[in-house]
């Protein structure tokens, strides 16, 4: 009997090996099922104009606003697979709907893995038909592991609260390791909650939280074809609905943002071979757009990333990235900190008697870089990883 852990009222989960991956020890399919009719769904997807067939299917379901079942396979991305890929995604949706007595428009399908390969449909269909026997409210962790590809460890988090005297739960499970860049990544993330929402409030709170967290990750500058973040809210908690600006709305948005930031940090730190997660914060830019340019110039710089890996406080690389970002800057106004250590003041390096404290800080797994441009009120932040030997090895050996 599997341990009772991470149960979310009104939801069941499954995750197991069905034969998509060669290694029978690795789970390769996962399911999230809501017991409640009229479960609300919303989603945010890749901005890459080359996107996988499952993304199209999920977008269509999200437009209608109701979702009961998510089917996720790992190992094959079903991207760049033409008409066959779309037919396979729709067949997956249709078979799962029949198995669970749902309308196909209530079924979302997601894939992650190798680009260009078609799904082994006979194997996948057998997995779908087997899933009901594997399904249960206690099997959350099986689903977490079922969506992993090159992830080093499972990623999940939960939170609870009370609204209108009703207790609720929010849980998130995610995967992501490489091909991670702004506007999500090789990232699949799923939020499940028994909170009761109206559709407008759900959409606003969910997208606000995603924008401030999962949409601010960069590992390698590549934006994936399969990025998908979904939320299912089944209303089982029975709370009164609330507005975005209400005390309850702010409470839920704060919790959801914290959960997704936890996922963002874990995904960044699990960037293939990564050893660090660094929060890059830009202040005093001309406007937010300018701050964003600077943040991503730093976050995507191979030289900054390798300096982080080498635990080298090479602030010159940070300054160079700020300068070529395309943002309006005045060198003499720039101040830079690595953690609490100011390394640049008014555009010039800060001399220090000893480097010991700064060198010690550079060895931390979680770090911060701050830049103040003194040009205006623009602010933005992102999460970046370092660039390591293992990243090269993993991606050089990953099958194409």
Active site residues: 186
Q: Name, in order, each residue with C-beta under 8 angstroms of 254's C-beta and a sequence gap of 6 or more.
A: none
- Measured CA to CA, the distance from residue 184 to residue 112 in angstroms comes to 14
- φ, ψ (nearest 5 deg) of residue 152: -80, -25
- Measured CA to CA, the distance from residue 394 to residue 273 in angstroms comes to 8
Tokens of 171: 């849980």
Q: Name, in order, each residue with C-beta under 8 angstroms of 220's C-beta and a sequence gap of 6 or more.
A: 178, 179, 180, 181, 271, 272, 387, 391
Tokens of 238: 């029975």
Tokens of 95: 């078979």
Edge-to-edge strands of the sheet including 107-114?
11-16, 29-34, 69-76, 107-114
- Measured CA to CA, the distance from residue 173 to residue 192 in angstroms comes to 9
Tokens of 392: 């090269």
CA atoms in the 13 A half-sphere facing the CB of 16: 17
- φ, ψ (nearest 5 deg) of residue 396: -70, -30
């Amino acid at each position: 009997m599997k341990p009772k852990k991470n149960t979310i009222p009104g939801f069941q989960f499954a995750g197991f090996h069905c034969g998509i991956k060669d290694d029978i020890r690795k789970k390769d399919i996962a399911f999230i099922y809501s017991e409640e009719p009229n479960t609300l769904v919303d989603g945010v997807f890749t901005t890459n104009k080359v996107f996988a067939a499952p993304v199209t299917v999920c977008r269509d379901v999200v437009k209608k606003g109701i979702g009961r079942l998510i089917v996720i396979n790992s190992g094959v991305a079903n991207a760049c697979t033409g008409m066959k890929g779309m037919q396979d995604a729709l067949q997956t949706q249709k078979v799962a709907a029949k198995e669970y007595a749902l309308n196909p428009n209530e079924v979302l399908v997601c894939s992650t893995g190798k680009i260009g390969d078609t799904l082994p449909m006979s194997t996948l269909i057998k997995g779908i038909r087997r899933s009901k026997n594997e399904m249960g409210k206690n099997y959350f962790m099986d689903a977490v592991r079922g969506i992993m590809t090159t992830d080093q460890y499972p990623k999940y988090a939960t939170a609870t609260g009370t609204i209108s005297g009703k207790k609720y739960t929010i849980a998130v499970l995610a995967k992501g390791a490489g091909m991670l860049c702004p506007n999500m990544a090789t990232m699949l993330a799923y939020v499940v909650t028994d909170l009761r929402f109206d559709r407008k409030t759900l959409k606003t709170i969910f997208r606000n939280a995603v924008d401030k967290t999962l949409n601010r990750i960069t590992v390698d500058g590549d934006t994936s074809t399969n990025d998908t973040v979904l939320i299912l809210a089944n209303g089982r908690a029975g709370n009164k609905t609330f507005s975005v600006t209400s005390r309850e709305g702010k409470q839920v948005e704060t919790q959801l943002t914290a959960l997704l930031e936890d996922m963002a940090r874990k995904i960044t730190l699990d960037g293939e071979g990564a050893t660090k997660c660094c929060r890059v914060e830009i202040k005093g830019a001309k406007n937010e757009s300018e701050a964003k340019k600077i943040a991503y110039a730093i976050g995507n710089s191979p030289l900054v990333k390798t300096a982080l890996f080498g635990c080298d406080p090479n602030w010159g690389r940070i300054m160079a990235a700020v300068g070529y970002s395309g943002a309006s800057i005045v060198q003499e106004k720039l101040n830079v900190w690595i953690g609490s250590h100011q390394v640049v003041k008014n555009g010039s390096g800060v001399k220090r008697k000893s480097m010991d404290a700064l060198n010690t800080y550079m060895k931390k797994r979680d770090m911060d870089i701050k830049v103040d441009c003194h040009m205006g009120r623009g602010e933005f932040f992102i999460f970046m990883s370092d660039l390591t030997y293992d990243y090269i090895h993993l991606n050089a050996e990953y099958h194409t």
